[in-house]
């Protein structure tokens, strides 16, 4: 629970788990797709999608995903060796960085070719999407409810990641609360102006107090 004060008004932001989040990889365009497969299928996917990136998967009370650049390079070399069967390489290239029995490249991210505008940033994009997919698998999604004097004034859901500053949750909540407070202050100002104009009108027209409206 986060308590803040803006223009003399105290409000409270309460982050809460989002128990029914959307899946960005199903509902958003251009995210690519993650494939879970055995070693043989992964190599076939790599052969069909040469820009694919291998991802290590560790499971221990949840998931931890890591882009494996060395494993990706190894898989690409092996695919090339199997396809070309070059005489210079009578045996497969040495395995590096992706030991399937100890640190398996069990996951493959296949980018969306239509949205891959800068292949040079492939690994940077893969890191970002892998981090998001990790959060999706672990249900690491949050929302917030903002209140003033126990009155709910704002709420929003679908922020990925436990760090509420990085996810944008805190910025969104603060912006919404300050907007609401500014609206209330302006509404109160307009009400005072309206009352003042009414009093001036009553005085100008010499309206007795008993006939004036209560303000």
Each residue's pLDDT tens digit in the chain (215 positions)?
Answer: 899 999 999 999 999 999 999 888 888 888 888 988 777 788 888 888 888 888 888 877 778 888 888 878 877 777 777 666 555 555 544 554 444 433 456 788 888 877 777 767 888 889 999 999 999 989 899 999 999 999 999 999 999 999 999 999 999 999 999 999 999 999 999 999 988 888 888 888 888 887 777 76
Q: Are residues 55 and 67 in contact, defined by beta-carbon separation less than 8 angstroms?
A: yes
Question: How far lies 51's CA from each of 37, 113, 119, 146, 147, in Å?
Answer: 17, 9, 8, 44, 47
130-151 exposure pattern, b = at least 16 Cβ within 10 A, e = fewer: bbbbbbbbeebbbbbbbbbeee
55 in Cβ contact with 69 (< 8 Å): no
User: What residues form DSSP beta bridges with 160?
Assistant: 141
pTM comes to: 0.73
């Amino acid at each position: 629970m986060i308590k803040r004060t803006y223009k003399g008004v105290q409000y409270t932001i309460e982050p809460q788990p989002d128990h029914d989040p959307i899946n960005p990889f199903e509902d958003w365009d251009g995210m690519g797709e993650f494939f879970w497969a055995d070693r043989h299928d992964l190599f076939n996917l790599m052969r069909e999608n040469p820009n694919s990136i291998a991802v290590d998967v560790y499971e221990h009370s949840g998931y931890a995903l890591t882009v494996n650049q060395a494993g990706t390079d190894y898989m690409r070399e092996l695919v090339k060796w199997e396809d070309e069967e070059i005489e210079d390489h009578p045996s497969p290239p040495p395995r590096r960085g992706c030991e399937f029995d100890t640190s398996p490249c069990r996951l493959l991210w296949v980018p969306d070719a239509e949205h891959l505008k800068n292949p040079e940033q492939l690994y940077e994009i893969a890191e970002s999407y892998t981090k998001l997919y990790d959060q999706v698998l672990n249900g690491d999604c949050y929302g917030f409810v903002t209140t003033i004097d126990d009155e709910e004034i704002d709420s929003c859901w679908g922020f990925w990641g436990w760090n509420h500053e990085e996810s944008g949750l805190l910025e969104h909540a603060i912006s919404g609360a300050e907007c609401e407070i500014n609206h209330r202050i302006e509404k109160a100002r307009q009400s005072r102006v309206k009352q003042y104009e009414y009093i001036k009108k009553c005085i100008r027209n010499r309206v007795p107090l008993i006939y004036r409206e209560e303000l």
